[in-house]
C-alpha cells in the first residue's frame, strides 16, 4: 500500500518500522514540530522523525495539520491509507476523507475503554490487569470510530508507563500489519463501539504526580509506576522535591502514624505510612540529582523515624 504515516513519540516508532520492513511504500511521514529542550534550547526531532529520516522518507511537520497547504499536499500524494499512531493533533474531515481505505488509528487501549491522551498510564494507575491495542477507523469524535481489530497485553505488577508502552508498541506494530492485509483483502471488520462502556484517559499533568499519603499504599504504588518516567510521582523531603521512581507496598497497621510519616529505615529503603498500609521507597531522585537507589540516597542524607514527607 501507499501510506502516509502520522505519529510522534516512541510509541509510534515500532509500527512505522514494521510497515517499512513489510515493504509498504511510505510516501510521507507527518509528525509534530521539533521541540526545544534543555538550557541550550536545541531543537530535538521527534522519535518518529528520526526513524523516517534513517530510511530517507520525506517528513512534514506542520504546526496545524488542518493547514490548507498541508491538506493539499496530502491530496497530491493520494495515499491508499493514512496510518496514525499518537500523532498529537485531531484530523479534520478534509483529511479523513482523502484515502480510499480511510485513516486507521493504532490506539493503546482496548476500546471503548480509555479513550483519550494517556491510556497506557491510566490503565496502570487504575489497577487494570489487561490492556491492549486497537486498530480503528478514524472519524470526527475522539477515539470513537469503528473497531477493526484488537490484541490484548497483560499488565504485570512491575510494569511502569515506560515498560508497558514498549510492550504495546510492539503489539501495535503486529496489529497494523494484520489490519492492512484485511483492508486489502476486503475482510476488515467494522465493529461499532459501545459508548456506554467508554472511559476517558485524561492528559497527564505534573500536578497529578503530587503524592497524597492519605491515599492507600496500593493506589500510590500504582500511581508511581504509571507516572514513570513522566511526569513522575513526587513528594517533599526537608522542603525539597524528591521524585519517586520505585516503591513496594508493605501491608501493615499504621494507625499509630500519620500519613507521610517515616515508620522504618533500613540500609536500602525507608517506609512511609499511608492512609492504609505503607510504602517502601526503593528508588528516587533528589532535586538537582540523577535517579538513584534509596541505599545511595541514605548514604548522603540523614532521615529519622517520625520525619514527615509531603
pLDDT digits (tens, 9 = 90+) for 132-147: 999 999 998 889 999 9
Tell me which DSSP letter residue 195 carries: G
The answer to whether the CB of 73 falls within 8 A of the CB of 29 is no
Phi-psi category of 159—alpha, beta or left, where left has phi over 0 and alpha has psi -120 to 50? beta
In this predicted structure, the answer to whether residue 178 has a pLDDT above a threshold of 90 is: yes
pLDDT digits (tens, 9 = 90+) for 273-284: 999 999 999 999
The answer to whether the CB of 281 falls within 8 A of the CB of 247 is yes
HSE, side-chain direction, 13 A CA sphere, residue 230: 6
The chain-wide mean pLDDT, for the chain, equals 97
**Mean pLDDT across the stretch 88-110?**
97
Grid cell digits, residue 246: 520505585
pLDDT at position 307: 97
Phi-psi category of 68—alpha, beta or left, where left has phi over 0 and alpha has psi -120 to 50? alpha
Please state whether the predicted TM-score (pTM) of the whole model is above 0.85.
Answer: yes
**Mean pLDDT across the stretch 53-71?**
97
- Neighbouring-strand partners of residue 35: 44
Tell me which DSSP letter residue 146 carries: P
Amino acid at each position: 500500500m501507499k501510506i502516509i504515516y502520522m505519529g510522534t513519540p516512541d510509541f509510534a516508532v515500532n509500527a512505522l518500522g514494521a510497515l517499512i520492513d513489510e515493504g509498504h511504500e511510505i510516501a510521507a511521514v507527518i509528525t509534530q514540530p521539533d521541540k526545544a529542550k534543555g538550557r541550550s534550547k536545541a531543537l530535538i526531532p521527534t522519535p518518529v522523525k528520526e526513524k523516517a529520516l534513517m530510511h530517507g522518507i520525506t517528513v512534514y511537520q506542520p504546526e496545524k495539520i488542518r493547514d490548507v497547504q498541508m491538506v493539499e499536499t496530502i491530496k497530491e500524494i493520494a495515499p491508499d491509507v493514512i496510518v496514525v499512531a499518537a500523532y498529537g493533533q485531531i484530523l479534520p474531515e478534509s483529511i479523513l476523507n482523502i484515502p480510499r481505505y480511510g485513516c486507521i488509528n493504532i490506539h493503546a487501549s482496548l476500546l471503548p475503554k480509555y479513550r483519550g491522551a494517556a491510556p497506557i498510564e491510566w490503565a496502570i494507575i487504575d489497577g487494570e490487569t489487561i490492556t491492549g491495542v486497537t486498530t480503528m477507523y478514524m472519524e470526527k469524535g475522539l477515539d470513537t470510530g469503528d473497531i477493526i481489530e484488537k490484541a490484548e497485553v497483560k499488565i504485570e505488577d512491575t510494569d511502569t508507563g515506560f515498560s508497558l508502552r514498549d510492550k504495546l508498541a510492539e503489539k501495535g506494530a503486529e496489529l497494523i500489519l494484520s489490519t492492512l492485509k484485511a483492508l486489502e483483502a476486503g475482510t476488515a471488520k467494522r465493529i461499532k463501539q459501545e459508548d456506554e462502556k467508554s472511559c476517558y484517559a485524561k492528559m497527564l499533568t505534573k500536578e497529578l504526580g503530587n503524592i497524597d499519603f492519605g491515599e492507600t499504599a496500593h493506589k500510590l504504588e500504582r500511581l508511581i509506576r504509571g507516572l514513570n518516567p513522566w511526569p513522575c510521582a513526587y513528594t517533599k523531603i526537608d522542603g525539597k522535591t524528591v521524585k519517586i521512581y520505585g516503591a513496594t507496598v508493605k501491608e501493615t497497621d499504621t494507625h499509630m502514624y500519620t500519613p507521610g510519616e517515616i515508620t522504618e529505615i533500613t540500609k536500602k529503603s525507608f517506609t512511609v505510612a499511608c492512609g492504609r498500609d505503607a510504602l517502601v521507597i526503593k528508588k528516587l531522585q533528589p532535586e538537582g540529582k540523577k535517579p538513584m537507589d534509596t541505599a545511595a540516597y541514605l548514604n548522603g542524607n540523614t532521615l529519622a523515624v517520625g520525619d514527615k514527607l509531603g
